[in-house]
């Protein structure tokens, strides 16, 4: 595999581990991936719950928790570490400022258009900025906005296709439409980014995500013009993944029919593994009594059937009566728990077989 260049960062294996919240990808998984030559990514979502021992206030606990996770990762690796921050989070700015102050290598921002992301950098900043998009139009919009307002272009762009896990940047009817497939999106966005590359003499590598599961998948998408891939689902069933054993077992036990599209309280469709909790929501038996955290801007307690952050924390701990696991479309293909090192070797072998 050819190395991935993001600004002045050289990534030996062109694989970014997707940021998975709540608590699925923290310093344990991120550092293990970075040690194998990929980009390890810490999810900033929900850290205020996981680090409530550091502060009673959710916002303050989130800041302290992210700082702690970044520092723990740095103690375990000299590799490249990123932080995933959702634009839709109410504490988006706090998570970005903390990441920049801690000099994390890369910030990956999605679940909305991060149009003001470069405003958080200063002259001393070393952090690279990578937005997530779901269309060539969004990529063009971000590039134009960043360049005109901040004289800054994305250091890379991630396109997340409709086969990804978690929240999807597509309308329900677009998810299975071939016109919105990753294979269709990649060439279109590569072409759009090339305009900015040639005009401003700066490389903007495109990273493909959503449904990438094997080394063969990596080889195929690189042929379409991507410079690297982002993978989340495949990393859940690793020893170093920060989720509980019961969470990982939900992937191992899932059949293809168990991976479903749900309507999330944040107003976006999402892909998850069906659970008793989801069945109850579908039957109209769930209703939150209160909103304890107000973590997502678009989540309205008056119309939401449940608190999403509570549901995801419950699943993280293996409580599927009170929550569910987000998962990509290929989660049912998981058959065993393996180390991150073993996974990287498998990906390399599969890649070589394809080429």
Answer whether residue 345 shows pLDDT above 70. Answer: yes
- Per-residue pLDDT, averaged over 192-221, amounts to 97
Query: What is the rounded CA–CA span in Å between residue 58 and residue 47?
Result: 8
CB atoms within 10 A of CB 198: 9
Query: What is the rounded CA–CA span in Å between residue 31 and residue 53?
Result: 23
Closest CA to 155 of 7, 3, 16: 7
Query: What is the rounded CA–CA span in Å between residue 79 and residue 12?
Result: 10
Closest CA to 20 of 11, 29, 31, 10: 29
Query: What is the rounded CA–CA span in Å between residue 157 and residue 143?
Result: 10
Q: Which domain holds residue 294?
A: 245-331
Q: What's residue 49's pLDDT?
A: 84
Cα 251 versus chain centre, distance: 17
Answer whether residue 18 shows pLDDT above 90. Answer: yes
Query: What is the rounded CA–CA span in Å between residue 83 and residue 104?
Result: 7
Answer whether residue 88 shows pLDDT above 60. Answer: yes
Answer whether residue 289 shows pLDDT above 60. Answer: no
Q: Residues 210, 346: one domain?
A: yes
Q: Residues 74, 213: one domain?
A: yes
Q: Residues 322, 342: one domain?
A: no
Answer whether residue 293 shows pLDDT above 60. Answer: no
Q: Residues 186, 261: one domain?
A: no
Q: Residues 230, 269: one domain?
A: no
Q: What's residue 66's pLDDT?
A: 97
Number of domains in the chain: 2
List pLDDT tens digits, range 264-279. 777 788 999 999 989 8
- Is 170 or 310 the better-scoring residue by pLDDT? 170
Q: Residues 148, 284: one domain?
A: no
Residue 82 binned pLDDT confidence (cut-offs 50, 70, 90) = very high
Instruction: Output the CA torsion 82→83→87→93 (10° steps).
Output: -120
CA 285 to each of CA 64, 207, 292: distance values in angstroms, whole numbers, following the listed order? 36, 40, 20
Strand stretches in the chain, DSSP E: 4-6, 9-11, 15-17, 39-43, 80-86, 106-110, 128-133, 157-160, 166-167, 206-209, 228-231, 259-263, 269-273, 325-326
Q: Residues 36, 157: one domain?
A: yes
List pLDDT tens digits, range 295-330. 555 655 666 666 777 788 888 999 999 889 999 999
Q: Residue 234: give its domain's CATH number.
A: 3.20.20.70
List pLDDT tens digits, range 26-68. 999 999 999 999 999 999 988 988 888 888 888 899 999 999 9
* Omega before 53 within 30 of 0, i.e. cis: no
Q: Residues 40, 127: one domain?
A: yes
Answer whether residue 284 shows pLDDT above 80. Answer: no
Q: Residues 205, 344: one domain?
A: yes
Closest CA to 18 of 208, 246, 203, 148: 208
Q: What's residue 291's pLDDT?
A: 59
CA 173 to each of CA 27, 162, 246: distance values in angstroms, whole numbers, following the listed order? 36, 11, 32
- Per-residue pLDDT, averaged over 183-195, amounts to 97
Tokens for 85, please give them: 């921050």
- Per-residue pLDDT, averaged over 134-139, amounts to 96
- Is 189 or 170 the better-scoring residue by pLDDT? 189
Query: What is the rounded CA–CA span in Å between residue 60 and residue 186?
Result: 39
- Per-residue pLDDT, averaged over 221-242, amounts to 98
Q: Residues 84, 163: one domain?
A: yes
List pLDDT tens digits, range 232-253. 999 999 999 999 999 999 999 9
Burial class (CB in 10 A: 0-12, 13-18, 19+), 285: exposed
Strand stretches in 73-222, DSSP E: 80-86, 106-110, 128-133, 157-160, 166-167, 206-209
Per DSSP, the three-state class of 165 is coil
CA 328 to each of CA 57, 124, 210: distance values in angstroms, whole numbers, following the listed order? 32, 37, 7
Q: Residues 30, 148: one domain?
A: yes
Closest CA to 145 of 118, 125, 170, 120: 118
Closest CA to 143 of 126, 127, 161, 130: 130
Q: Residues 230, 249: one domain?
A: no
Q: What's residue 236's pLDDT?
A: 98
CA 116 to each of CA 113, 121, 141, 149, 173: distance values in angstroms, whole numbers, following the listed order? 9, 10, 12, 9, 30
What is the average pLDDT score of the chain? 92
Q: What's residue 302's pLDDT?
A: 60
Per DSSP, the three-state class of 201 is coil
Per DSSP, the three-state class of 354 is helix
Query: What is the rounded CA–CA span in Å between residue 23 and residue 20?
Result: 7
Tokens for 259, please give them: 């991976």
């Amino acid at each position: 595999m050819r190395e991935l260049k993001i600004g002045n960062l050289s990534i030996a294996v062109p694989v970014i581990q997707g940021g998975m919240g709540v608590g699925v990808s923290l310093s344990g998984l991120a550092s293990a991936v970075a040690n194998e030559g990929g980009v390890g990514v810490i999810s900033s979502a929900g850290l205020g719950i996981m680090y409530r021992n550091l502060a009673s206030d959710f916002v303050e606990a989130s800041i302290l928790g992210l700082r702690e996770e970044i520092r723990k990762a740095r103690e375990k690796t000299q590799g490249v570490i990123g932080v995933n921050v959702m634009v839709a989070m109410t504490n988006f700015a706090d998570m970005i400022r903390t990441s920049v102050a801690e000099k994390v290598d890369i910030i990956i921002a999605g679940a909305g258009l991060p149009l003001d992301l470069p405003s958080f950098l200063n002259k001393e900043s070393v952090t690279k900025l990578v937005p997530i998009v779901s269309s060539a139009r969004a990529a063009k919009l971000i590039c134009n906005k960043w360049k005109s307002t901040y004289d800054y272009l994305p250091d890379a762009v991630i396109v997340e296709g409709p086969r990804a896990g978690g929240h999807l940047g597509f309308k329900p009817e677009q998810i299975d439409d071939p016109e919105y497939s990753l294979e269709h999106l990649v060439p279109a966005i590569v072409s759009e980014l090339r305009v900015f590359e040639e005009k401003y003499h700066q490389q903007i590598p495109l990273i493909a995500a959503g449904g990438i599961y094997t080394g063969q998948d990596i080889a195929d998408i690189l042929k379409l013009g991507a410079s690297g891939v982002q993978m989340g689902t495949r990393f859940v069933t690793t020893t170093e993944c920060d989720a509980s054993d019961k969470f990982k077992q939900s992937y191992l036990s899932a059949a293809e029919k168990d991976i479903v599209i749900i309507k999330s309280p944040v107003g976006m469709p999402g892909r998850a593994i069906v659970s008793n909790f989801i069945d109850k929501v579908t039957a109209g038996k769930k209703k939150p009594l209160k909103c304890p955290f107000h973590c997502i801007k678009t989540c309205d307690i008056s119309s939401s059937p449940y608190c999403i952050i509570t549901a995801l924390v419950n699943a993280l701990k293996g409580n599927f009566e009170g929550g569910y696991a987000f998962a990509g479309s290929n989660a049912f293909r998981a058959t065993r728990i393996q180390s991150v090192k073993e996974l990287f070797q498998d990906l390399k072998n599969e890649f070589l077989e394809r080429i």
